Each structure stands twice: as structure tokens, then as C-alpha cells.
Structure 1
Amino acid sequence: MTDTGQNGHNPGRPPASRIRLVVSDMDGTILTPEKQVTRESIAAIQTLKKAGVPVCFVSSRPPGGMEMYFDALGVHTPYGALNGGTIFNADRTIRSRLSLDPEAVQDTLLMLKVHQIDAWLFRGHEWLVTNATGAYVEPEARAIRMTPTAVPSFNDYQQEVGKVTGASADYEALERQELEIGQLLQGRASVARSCKCFLDITPLNANKGYALRQLASFYNIPIEEVACIGDMNNDVPMLSIGGLSIAMGQAKPDVAAQAHFITASNSENGWAKAMEQFVLPRVAPLSDIAGKTVS
């Protein structure tokens, strides 16, 4: 396990000495490569819970794809779906929601079509596709236990879109489109890969940094006392502002550069090890927050 020292994005920001909230990515982070959770991670969450420190999750997944893990993890806290653009309360009701401008949706769909990249739309609890036999549709449906709705076109569905995903096995094409669509939508949307095969386009403020701020506000905790952990480009907005930022061992160098510390990979129980080594020694109970329960 490597200690990278001070944050590469802002070297003047040392790691927090006190942690009162943990905000975590899911895929590539607390989930193993087989999309499972380990006993060690569950035990670490229970230890944090006993110390009065809640664990909240933020993911590019739709809400159902996150909720399927919560009972096993033993968490019933607010969470951010669709890359943080929709914040849900623990009871699954929507706390806040951001949507893409329809023109940004149109521009994105055109770019993906030109480059022969499958497009998916997410609106609230809906997952819409035009190519139901696309290479990643069935695996993703299994992974998030959600069946997409096939539509002949997206023409009537460009309002209230929380996320557009480009799915392709051409990883280099997605990397190029991350840059090209990012430039096209500069100032209008957030554009980042959530894994090597998915490119996510979300509302401008719908990123994990926004979600971290929303969740910290819910608990009335300054972001300087929030630990965050992730592995991909779309985790950078929270890694670059969290009081204690941790990158997974398999994170690319530009992602790891945003973190105070690097833990082991998600195939080596890196999440649990990060909690044990970097977070738990810094926890502080939430006894001073009236009316909030940690579960």
C-alpha cells in the first residue's frame, strides 16, 4: 500500500486529521471485479457505523443498480446516482435532481452516432436504449438488475435526462470522445468515463464533487472532514476536494495524483484496507449532530 503524500491537485492541502463522513464510489472501489462485496468491507462499514461515521455511496449507476447492494452492505444512508446528479434519501425518494439541457443531449447523441457508439439515456428510474442487442446491454442489465426499455428513437425522450452513456468495446474511441464531447459540451455538461467501456455525460454540476457537497451538507459536515475513495476519471471531482482522498490501487496515474493516499486494488480488498489504515484512525463521532441517525 502506497502513501502518495499530499494531494497532487492541490499540494497545499494536507490530508484531514479528523473524519466524520465517508463518501465512496462503487464499481472498481468497494465492489470487486466480480461485482461483489467482501466480508472485510462489510465489517469496516460496521466499525465505522459503531463509531457514528456514516458511509454514503455515489455512482454512475442508476439508483436500482446501487440499491441492490445496500442491504448486504448494511447501509441505509442518502446516496448519489447517475454520477451524483440525482441525490436520493435513504427511503428512495428524490432529494435533489439535475437534468441535461435537451440541446446538450441532442449534440451528444449525434456525436455518439457519428462514431458508432451505442447511446443509452437515463431519466429518473428509466433506462432507455435504441439498440437492445448492443454488446453491453445484457451484461449491464444483469449487473444492475434492471431491464432497459427499447424505444425506436430518442426523439421524444430528451427532457429530464439525468445521464447519457456511450457504450463501446472500442476503448480508444471512448477515450477520444471523452475529449471531443468534453470540448463540445464545455460549460454545458460533465463528461467522463466511468470505466473503460462507458462514457458518461451528465449535467454540468452533476459530478461526484457536487454529490459529496450535497451529502456533507445533509450531515452538516464540512468537506474538510469527509473521506472519499474512488478509482476512475469521474471520481476526480470528489477526490480533488475531499478532506481525505484515497485512490484505489488500479487507478490510473492522473486519477491517483488527486489522492492523498493509494490503497490496494479492488481485487485485493483495497477498500477495507483503506478504511483500516487511513480512515478509522481519523474518525470522529457525529454525536454533535442533532436529529441525524447513522444507519
Structure 2
Amino acid sequence: MPPIALVVSDVDGTLLTRDKTLTDRARDAARRLHEAGTAFTITSSRPAIGMRFLVEPLQISLPVGPFNGSSIVDPDMTPVEQTLIPTRAAQRALEVLNQFGVDIWLFTNDTWLTRNPDGDYVPNEKRAIRADPTIIEDFSPYLSNACKIVGSSRDFELLVRCEGAMREALGDQALAVRSQSYYLDITPPGRDKGTFVTATAKRLGIPLAAVATIGDMHNDVAMFKVSGLSIAMGNASDEVKGYAKEVTTSNEDEGFANAIDAILSQNAKG
């Protein structure tokens, strides 16, 4: 395997701790990547507005990939490429989520919309993306601008069943994948974290064999499949770990920083 020239990291459950903290070691690991001449960026199920606060401490100069990589935005959050969920698919997704009785959110490029400000995971999302939702009564006027639709529930098994039903209902019209055990993301078709990694490597003229990816959830598998080195977090499920070439420690035990240490050490050996 060639030396790693680009590292792409997931955010929640990977780069950040459980309480959404960027540790000093994680920040220092990113700095050392830059100093070693290794490119670095992030991709996440988060909306663009929820990634802005990481750009400066991580010294990110490359585009980042919000909405599970279905959008590509510059570090100042200006869209470079943006793909939307087809309107009919967005409507069908809402129908399925309503059938399962889960809380529903819709994200446009710069707005988080919900009908239920008291939803179980609203406080969690507010803390994570550092933004407040816009409360609406009807999603219909926004369906043509949907970057991501989310179903959230404390019933994790219900959400697994909802994911299966959603994939059957949508077919190839949109992508449905859990980004957390309590979040089911519906995003545009043909775009995922793997396509983001591929686009970033192409932008830099780097072969995919020289790319390392780090993640913890099902939505990270797409980038594991295209990268030369894939590293699962210790807190990932056994299923997700099975798709990765290596496993680091958990996000509560500096797994991201430890993964970067291993990458830099291997690169130094040549």
C-alpha cells in the first residue's frame, strides 16, 4: 500500500466524543497531519451548518462533505456541488416515516425544519450542530429543496425495521441509512461518503489506494469500500468493523488520534 496522502474522517462517534467534544489530542493529531503534508478533511451526516465550528480548530482548507457526502461545500460553507432528494422520493419518505410514527426533520442547505420542537432528540441535535430548528406545520413547501430527511426514535429496533421499509419504498430514488442507532437518514441517490472520498481524491490527484478513512457507523461503510486504508472506531458495531481493514480505540479513548498516530508512523517507515 502506498503512503497515505489523504485522510477523511467521520465526525460524530469518530472525531468527537460522546458529548460532542473535540479533544486536544484530536486537534493535535490533525495539526500533525498537516505538518506532515498529508491532506485532511471530514464528511458527516451533519448539515453544513453543523460542520462549520470544526473548520478552524482542525485547520481544514479542503471542501467538506455534509449530508453523508451528498453535498460538497467549501470551508466557508459555500456549496461546491449540491444534490437534492427528488421531490417525489422526499414525499414518499415522509409517508413511510409517518407510518412508523418516528420524529421527522428536514434539512435544506442552511435550515433545519421540524414540526415537533419537543422531539426526543431535538436537544441532542441542537447541541451537536450548534443551531436551532425552524418550527413549521407542513413540510410540503420545502420538499423540492431537501438535502436530507431524518427519522429519529428512541426505539432502535423500530428504526431498523423502518430502514428496511424505507429502502423498499424508495428503491434507487434515494439512499436510506442509519447514521446513528437513533437516526435514519434519507439522502439523494447516487451520492454517499464513498463518492465524496472519490471526488476529493480526484481533486487532489491522489489514488484511492493512498486514502485512509475513519468512521464508526453504517453510513461510513461506503467510504471504507473505496479507500486503501479503512479504520473502524472501537465503538463501532461488529458489522461495521467487519468492513474495515483496521480497528482503533473508541471515541471515548482517543480513537481518532490513535488512528492518526498509526498512519503517520506507517508513513514514516516508508
Short-chain TM bin: over 0.9
* Residue aligned with 1:224, SS: helix
Shift in Å at residue 116 of structure 1?
0.6
User: What is the aligned counterpart of 1:43 among 28, 37, 49?
Assistant: 28
Runs of 4+ aligned residues of structure 1 deviating over 4 Å after TM superposition are none
Shift in Å at residue 84 of structure 1?
0.7
Query: What letter corresponds to residue 247 of structure 2 in structure 1?
Result: I
User: What is the aligned counterpart of 2:184 among 199, 205, 208?
Assistant: 199
The 8 Å contact of residues 247 and 261 in structure 1, kept in 2 or not, is answered as yes
Shift in Å at residue 280 of structure 1?
4.3
1:64: which partner in 2? Answer: 49
Shift in Å at residue 236 of structure 1?
0.5
User: What is the aligned counterpart of 1:242 among 224, 227, 238?
Assistant: 227
Q: C-alpha distance in 1, partners of 2:201/2:174?
A: 23
Moved more, 95-104 or 65-74: 65-74
Shift in Å at residue 250 of structure 1?
1.2
Matched, 1:153 2:167: no
- The aligned length equals 270
1:130: which partner in 2? Answer: 115
Query: Identity of paired residues, percent?
Result: 38
The 8 Å contact of residues 263 and 270 in structure 1, kept in 2 or not, is answered as yes
**Is the alpha carbon distance of 1:280 and 1:78 closer, same or farther for their aligned partners in structure 2, counting shifts above 3 Å?**
farther
The 8 Å contact of residues 214 and 230 in structure 2, kept in 1 or not, is answered as yes
**Is the alpha carbon distance of 1:120 and 1:48 closer, same or farther for their aligned partners in structure 2, counting shifts above 3 Å?**
same
CA RMSD of aligned residues (A): 1.6
2:105: which partner in 1? Answer: 120
The 8 Å contact of residues 52 and 76 in structure 2, kept in 1 or not, is answered as no
Alignment of 1:50-129 (within 5 A): 50-129=35-114
Structure with the greater relative contact order (CA < 8 A, sep ≥ 6): 1 or 2? 1
Shift in Å at residue 150 of structure 1?
1.0
Alignment of 1:177-256 (within 5 A): 177-256=162-241
Moved more, 179-188 or 51-60: 179-188
Shift in Å at residue 142 of structure 1?
2.2
Query: What letter corresponds to residue 184 of structure 2 in structure 1?
Result: L
1:262: which partner in 2? Answer: 247
Shift in Å at residue 279 of structure 1?
4.6
Mind listing any 5+ residue stretches in structure 2 that lack a counterpart?
A: none
* Residue aligned with 1:80, SS: coil
1:168: which partner in 2? Answer: 153
The 8 Å contact of residues 249 and 262 in structure 1, kept in 2 or not, is answered as yes
Query: What letter corresponds to residue 95 of structure 1 in structure 2?
Result: V
User: What is the aligned counterpart of 2:128 among 105, 127, 143?
Assistant: 143
Shift in Å at residue 44 of structure 1?
1.3
Moved more, 87-96 or 271-280: 271-280
Q: TM-score, normalised by structure 1?
A: 0.88
Matched, 1:273 2:238: no
Mind listing any 5+ residue stretches in structure 1 that lack a counterpart?
A: 1-15, 285-295
Q: TM-score, normalised by structure 2?
A: 0.96
Shift in Å at residue 218 of structure 1?
1.9
Q: Deviations over 1:173-196 (max 9, x none)?
A: 111111111122121111111111
